[in-house]
Amino acid sequence: MDGLLDGQGKVAFVLGGGGERGGNQVGMIRALLEAGITPDIVVGTSIGSVQGAILAKNPTISVVAELTELWMEFISMKVMKPSLRAFVSNVRHVRAGLTSVDAAHRMLLNHFAPHSRIEDLKLPFVCPASSIERAEAHYFDQGPLIPALLASCCVPGLFPPVQIDGEHYLDGGLIDSLPVGVAASLGATTVYALRIRQTGVGLTPPRLPWQLAHVAFEVTRRAAVESEIARHRPGVTVHVLPSGEDELVRAGRGPVASTRAELETVRRRIALGYDAASAFLEGLQRTRQDAVG
């Protein structure tokens, strides 16, 4: 895409959180890299922190294959789906959470050895986690890599808090689900925000008591993300890429009953993310060409 990179200055990729929707993000990354857009800075939260760290380690098109492999591992190791029984039963839940954390730790060691510290990555990388003691976001930009990633991905109620230097952390998405401001503070003048939670599909009122907390959190999170994106930052251009998730939600999804079905769902998510982001970038290119005549 000749001309798309003109005048962009320092480029940042900001990878938002969204659990299993992270598969869409793989396709979005592929679309950006194939368009010749590569990051100078990577910022990621929750599942976006893991994928962002892998991208910061290997900011080339070959990273797409590694990210796809990551999702195959997620599914085979059941890292993303602790059982409902474990969630309902507190004792079982803690055991399942610890088992999942152990599995995630082993998997991350496999992907990041010998990159044991954030400073070892090829690109500057930052990921937020939510401090319990301080009730605010903490942004990891140096130090041990894997504990920071586990903290940024620590979904409350599914995994036990991650302790680092005597402080306890939960998922970074609780406070900063799409850290555009962090990228701007690091000197980025062009930000590509890879938001993977759907926003075009409205929420529905909760029917069950345990759905209330999720809906309340989602209302707050959506408002915070929109405010973060809309905040005026002189000299910074923010492009929010579509993920294709809205299309998947509108199409409707039944329960995923098997590992094979989960694999197919991930492949579909990657394809939807790629198609949606590619179309967006092509439109951006046409707009720039029209602007210059």
Could you tell me the two tokens for 197?
A: 């939670």
Structural domain count of the chain: 1
What would the mean pLDDT of 178-201 be, rounded to a whole number? 89
CATH number at residue 251: 3.40.1090.10
Read off the pLDDT of residues 196-207 as tens digits, 9 standing for 90 and up.
Answer: 876 666 778 888
More confident residue, 158 or 235: 235
What would the mean pLDDT of 104-122 be, rounded to a whole number? 86
Residue 239: inside a domain, yes or no? yes
Residue 263 pLDDT class (50, 70, 90 cuts) = confident
Residue 211: inside a domain, yes or no? no
What would the mean pLDDT of 270-275 be, rounded to a whole number? 97
Contact 231, 50 (CB under 8 A): no
Using alpha carbons, list the distances in angstroms from residue 44 to 17, 126, 238: 8, 7, 15
Residue 98 has pLDDT above 80, yes or no: no
What would the mean pLDDT of 30-34 be, rounded to a whole number? 99
- Residue 219's contacts (CB-CB under 8 Å, 6 or more residues apart) are 203
End-to-end CA distance of the chain: 16
- What ranges make up the beta strands (E) of 132-186? 136-140, 162-164, 167-170
pLDDT at position 93: 40
pLDDT at position 233: 84
More confident residue, 186 or 250: 186
Read off the pLDDT of residues 126-141 as tens digits, 9 standing for 90 and up.
Answer: 999 999 999 999 999 9
Contact 77, 107 (CB under 8 A): yes
In the chain, % of residues over pLDDT 70:
82
Residue 94: inside a domain, yes or no? yes
Residue 3: inside a domain, yes or no? no
What would the mean pLDDT of 26-35 be, rounded to a whole number? 98
Averaged confidence pLDDT in the chain: 84
Residue 277: inside a domain, yes or no? yes
Beta bridge mates, 142:
none
CA gap 149, 52 in Å, rounded: 10
Residue whose token pair is 């890879």: 194
Whether residue 82 has a cis bond before it, omega within 30° of 0? no
pLDDT at position 94: 38
pLDDT at position 207: 85
Residue 213: inside a domain, yes or no? no
* Domain range for 271: 11-201+234-283
Angle 225-228-233 from CA coordinates, rounded to 5°: 160
Residue 46: inside a domain, yes or no? yes
Residue 220 pLDDT class (50, 70, 90 cuts) = confident
Active site residues: 46, 171
pLDDT at position 215: 78
Q: What residue type is assigned to position 286 of the chain?
A: R
pLDDT at position 103: 74
Read off the pLDDT of residues 140-178 as tens digits, 9 standing for 90 and up.
Answer: 999 999 999 999 999 887 788 999 999 999 999 999 999
pLDDT at position 115: 75
Residue 5: inside a domain, yes or no? no
Cα–chain center distance at 196: 7
Characterize the bridge pairing of strands 125-131 and 136-140: antiparallel
SS3 call for 43: strand
